[in-house]
Amino acid sequence: MTDEGRETPAPDAPRGDALHGAAARDAAEAYRRMFDGHDRERVRRAGWAAAIAGALTDHFRPRSVVDIGCGLGFFLAAMGGRGADRLTGVDADWVEGLPTEIPRDRYLLHDLETPLPDLGRHDLAACLEVAEHLGAARGPSLVAELTALSDVVLFSAAIPGQGGRGHVNCRWQSYWAGLFAEHGHACYDPYRRRLAAMPDMAPWFAQNLLLFVREGGAVPDGIAPHRIAPQAADMVLPLVHTRLLRARERRFRAAVRQLEAAGLRFVPPGAAGGPDT
């Protein structure tokens, strides 16, 4: 759970390797500053993790959980509190020197841009608001590795325009569903409506969180009615949370005011004199 959710504009398309590396370093430093000595941020994230873990364990109780891009381990700690006794967290070395929510011996420090080592099989694999921080070429192989880790994958990733630091590969939810389908994992949408009703929940989880279950595998009780047919994915899955949409509108209006203060004028596309006329 590494997405900081700040309203700082960020690029939505892949960039060159040098810029991508700089973005990753800047994002890592921002995360370190966010967590270092800030108990309020920890409490907030622990609450999000507990709510997500609670929704998940209403349907099934995994004993082994691996979290790719686990940050400081909030989701793993929440799952440990609900009966999971084999926890594995994987993330880059930005977490070094920060107090973590799970024991250090449960961590593997690893550059997520590179293929994961053999981590064995787990009851549940999670990857929460991480994929957008990795280059576009990494997306398909990341999904392949997640589906190799478990028959059940909990996944969320930032959409275009969501905002945040270090976002270089923002995609609509249906894009990721298509990649999971290539590896035999069907898409289920049992949590977004529930999370959206929680006033303190991070809007990006209420917007993006999906469950993928291997075709032919055991579908947790209560999940089956929430299956999204592949042919409906492009119509049903893309979703923008109103809080994020309003934040983007505020940023846009602020930018227009800056233009006007500089004596310039914003002309919308399609208007007389605009770029589409």
Using one digit for the tens of pLDDT, what is the confidence trace for 141-184? 999 999 999 999 999 999 987 877 788 999 999 999 999 999 99
**Rounded Cα–Cα distance for residues 195 and 181 (Å):** 24
Whether the CB-CB separation of 189 and 229 falls below 8 Å is answered with no
**What is d(CA 122, CA 84) in angstroms, rounded to the nearest whole number?**
11
Residue 270 pLDDT > 70, yes or no? no
Strand order in the sheet with 185-188: 107-109, 86-91, 64-68, 124-128, 152-156, 210-214, 185-188, 227-228
pLDDT, tens digit, 9 for 90 and up, residues 99-119? 899 999 999 999 999 999 999
Q: Is the pLDDT of residue 20 over 50?
A: no
Q: Is the pLDDT of residue 79 over 70?
A: yes
Chain segment 233-266, per-residue pLDDT in tens? 776 666 665 565 565 556 656 666 776 777 777 6
Interacting residues of 199 by C-beta distance below 8 A, sequence separation 6+: none
The answer to whether the Cα torsion of 208, 120, 140, 183 is positive or negative is negative
Q: How far apart are CA 219 and CA 194, in angstroms?
A: 19
Could you write out the DSSP letters of every residue in 49-107? HHHHHHHHHTT---SEEEEET-TTSHHHHHHHTTT--EEEEEE-GGGTTS--SS-GGGE
Q: How confident is the model at residue 19 (pLDDT cuts 50, 70, 90)?
A: very low
Task: Please give the pLDDT value at position 233.
Answer: 75
| Residue 154 · residue 128 · CB < 8 Å | yes
Give dist(CA 212, CA 144) in Å, integer.
12
Q: Judge whether 156 and 181 are in contact, CB under 8 Å.
A: no
In the chain, where the domains are located:
17-239, 241-277
pLDDT higher than threshold 80 for residue 200: yes
Whether residue 112 contacts residue 69, with contact meaning beta carbons closer than 8 Å, is answered with yes
Name the residue with tokens 């059940």. 152
Specify the pLDDT at position 88.
98
pLDDT in tens, 44-54: 899 999 999 99
What homologous superfamily does CATH list for 17-239? Vaccinia Virus protein VP39 (3.40.50.150)
Distance CA 4, CA 27 (A): 9
Return the closest-CA partner of residue 125 out of 95, 159, 90: 90
Task: Read off the pTM.
Answer: 0.76
For 216, residues 6+ apart whose C-beta sits below 8 A from its C-beta are: 184
pLDDT at 32: 57
Strand, helix or coil at 149? Answer: helix
Instruction: Give residues with Cβ within 8 angstroms of 135, minimum separation 6.
Output: 14, 17, 20, 113, 168, 169
